[in-house]
Chains A and B, each alone.
Chain A
Amino acid sequence: MPTAPFADRKTGAHLELHLRPTLFIPELKSRKKFPALEEMVAHLAEQKVARQAGAVLEVLRQREALGSTGIGKGIAIPHGRSTMVAERAVLLARSTRGIEFDATDGNPVHLCFLIVAPPTEHDPVYLQLLAEIVKSVRLARPRQRLLEASNFDRIRTILLGQLAHE
């Protein structure tokens, strides 16, 4: 898995601001990439982050056409910017059974961080968020703890703790 050269190495402040218990799916029903994305975007629509689920899903599909966002070691970070997104948001979804995500290492994905944002042309936070997430799941032990965590608060603590330690 690659390193995270653009992360805010001191605080992980961007991720902290974007982690919300309402944007957490403890166990995804879908086991394939696009149905899983659909399930996550539907959740964003329920939470009023996505104004039109179809348009947001289409952006994510097109982004996947550029290359899979399954970066290996059971992690996927799909991301996209759409006119139909109300605010920048991170949705975290888990799948203990695993999702076929066409990941770079060919392994199923167990942790999925979906980043969406409005189509602001210059949004440095969007890339910094991406970098912080990559950094927070770099090590095997915290990844395992994230899968085993019993609730969202625990997950949040693990992710932010990981960013603080590095």
Chain B
Amino acid sequence: MNDQLQALVALQDLDLLIREAKDPERATQEEELGFPLGGVDKLERTRERLAKQIDDRLLQLYERMSRRYDRVVVRVEGSVCLGCFMGLPTAATRRVSDSRRVENCENCGRILYRI
């Protein structure tokens, strides 16, 4: 996985954590269990720093798709996109394996990775 994809994965995970911390119901549940959820602003600063490491075009794509999907960066299993569960053409499946490239699902547009 290339550096840009790694940074996108970190951004996606951080966005989920920030969403949960900002969700009043979720935060209350965690706090009642004994887990304080303060310092979201710290995470938002971390997000800003992380976003600066990502290529502008890729970041814009991620931000745009985040409005549509909970998870924008998804894994490919075999030749199936685990975002929309549609099969990818053979050539696209091969391109996902090339760690130098960032590939999108031809069906749903999500950003793909393979491990």
Chain A residues near B (Cβ < 8 Å):
1-6, 51-52, 54-55, 58-59, 62-63, 65-69, 71-72, 77, 80-84, 104, 119, 121, 127, 130-131, 134
Contact = CB atoms under 8 A, between A and B. Distances in A.
A66 B34 contact: no
Interface string B21-48: 1000010011011111111101100100
A119 B8 CA distance: 14
Contacts of A58: 10, 13
Contact of A66 (B9, B29, B36, B70): B36
B13 A81 contact: yes
Contact of A4 (B6, B9, B33, B46): B33
Contact of B33 (A6, A63, A83): A6
18 contacts: A1-B34, A2-B32, A3-B32, A51-B115, A52-B1, A54-B6, A55-B10, A62-B46, A65-B43, A66-B39, A67-B35, A72-B34, A81-B17, A84-B9, A84-B13, A119-B12, A121-B71, A131-B33
Contact of B9 (A1, A55, A67): A55
Contacts of A69: 35
Nearest to A69: B35
A82 B9 CA distance: 8
A58 B26 CA distance: 21
A66 B115 contact: no
Contact of B38 (A67, A83, A131): A67
Nearest to A131: B33
A39 to B, nearest CB: 20
Contacts of B71: 83, 119, 121
Nearest to A81: B16
B37 A104 contact: no
B36 A83 contact: no
Given A65-B42, A66-B36, 11 more contacts: A2-B32, A4-B33, A59-B14, A62-B17, A66-B17, A66-B21, A67-B35, A83-B13, A130-B30, A131-B33, A134-B33
A68 B38 CA distance: 10
A2 B12 CA distance: 31
